[in-house]
Amino acid sequence: MEPIAIIHNQYTDRFAIPRQSGSTDLLSVVVFLPKYRDENSLRHIEEFSHLWLIWHFSEIHQEGWSPTVRPPKLGGNKRVGVFASRSPYRPNALGLSHVKLIGVRKTKEDGAVLLVEGGDLMDKTPIFDIKPYLKSDAVQGAKGGYAVDANTFLKVDFEGQAWENLSPEERQRLASVLREDPRPGYQNDERRYAFFFDRYEVFFQIKDGTVYLDEIKNAAD
Q: pLDDT of 50-76, one tens digit each?
A: 999 999 998 877 778 889 998 877 777
For residue 150, pLDDT over 70 is answered with no
CA distances from 110 to 4, 33, 134, 198 (A): 13, 8, 28, 21
Taking the C-alpha atoms of residue 156 and residue 177, their distance in angstroms, rounded to an integer, is 10
| pLDDT surpasses 90 at 161 | no
Residue pLDDT, tens place only, 129-142: 999 999 999 888 88
pLDDT for residue 148: 64
pLDDT at 204 over 90: yes
pTM: 0.83
For 14, 69, 70, 183, the CA distances from 77, given in Å and listed in that order, are: 22, 10, 7, 17
pLDDT winner (highest mean) among 57-61, 73-77, 121-125, 217-221 = 121-125
- Is residue 107 very low, low, confident or very high in pLDDT (cuts 50, 70, 90)? very high
10 or 49: which leads in pLDDT: 49
For residue 97, count other CB atoms closer than 10 A to its CB: 21
First to last CA, the chain: 39
Cβ contact 79:69 at 8 Å: yes
Instruction: Using pLDDT thresholds of 50, 70 and 90, give the confidence band for residue 105.
Output: very high
Count Cβ neighbours within 10 Å for each residue of 37-73 and write b for 16 or more, e otherwise.
eeeeeeeeeeeeebbbbebbbbeeeeeeeeeebbbbb
Q: Whole-number mean pLDDT of the chain? A: 89
How far is the C-alpha of 149 from the C-alpha of 73, rounded, in Å? 9
3-state SS class at 177 = helix
- Per-residue pLDDT, 149: 59
Report all structural domains of the chain as residue ranges with CATH numbers, in order of start: 5-58+93-137 (2.40.30.70), 155-218 (3.30.2310.20)
Give pLDDT, residue 8. 96
